[in-house]
């Protein structure tokens, strides 16, 4: 079994329509949420058990970054949020496996803790694009 550490993972960004190639290094903890909707397919044949099948897949990405207005990555996410411009993001385990899609930045929350560095909590969701999200 190969153990993969989160610090070896990468977030790559780029222009929507292509795979992100610029590594975002100003990233703290990152969570890639993957879920599927479900449809009820319960029948008498399921012998009293409710049965479901997976339907549409859903993804969201949440991560923190330091508040740094001189950082190109910070500026790219801030601009994408305020201008409603999609970004290409590739969330990878560092070995090339992960989710590649065009994303809308749907959350950009500034955190101002008293005794820590200011940071931003970013939320992204896949957006309408000619590129369907793809797991590589």
Say what the pLDDT of residue 1 is: 73
Closest CA to 92 of 84, 81, 80, 101: 101
Structure confidence by residue, pLDDT tens digits, 58-107:
999 999 999 999 999 999 999 999 999 999 999 999 999 999 999 999 99
Instruction: Evaluate if residue 2 carries a pLDDT over 90.
Output: no
Cα–Cα distance, 128 to 110 (Å, whole number): 26
Tokens 């190969």 identify what position? 2
Cα–Cα distance, 60 to 121 (Å, whole number): 13
Instruction: Give the rounded percent of residues in the chain with a pLDDT score beyond 70.
Output: 100
Structure confidence by residue, pLDDT tens digits, 61-74:
999 999 999 999 99
Q: Based on C-alpha coordinates, what's the Rg of the chain?
A: 18
What is the pTM for the complete model shown? Answer: 0.91
């Amino acid at each position: 079994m190969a153990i993969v550490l989160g610090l070896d993972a990468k977030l790559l960004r780029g222009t929507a329509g292509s795979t992100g190639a610029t590594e975002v290094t100003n990233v703290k903890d990152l969570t890639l949420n993957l879920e599927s909707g479900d449809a009820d397919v319960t029948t008498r044949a399921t012998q009293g058990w409710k049965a479901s099948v997976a339907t549409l897949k859903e993804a969201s990405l949440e991560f923190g970054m330091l508040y740094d207005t001189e950082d190109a990555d910070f500026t790219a996410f801030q601009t994408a949020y305020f201008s409603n411009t999609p970004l290409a993001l590739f969330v990878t385990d560092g070995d090339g496996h992960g989710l590649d899609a065009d994303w809308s930045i749907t959350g950009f929350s500034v955190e101002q803790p008293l005794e820590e560095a200011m940071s931003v909590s970013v939320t992204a969701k896949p957006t309408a694009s000619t590129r369907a999200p793809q797991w590589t």
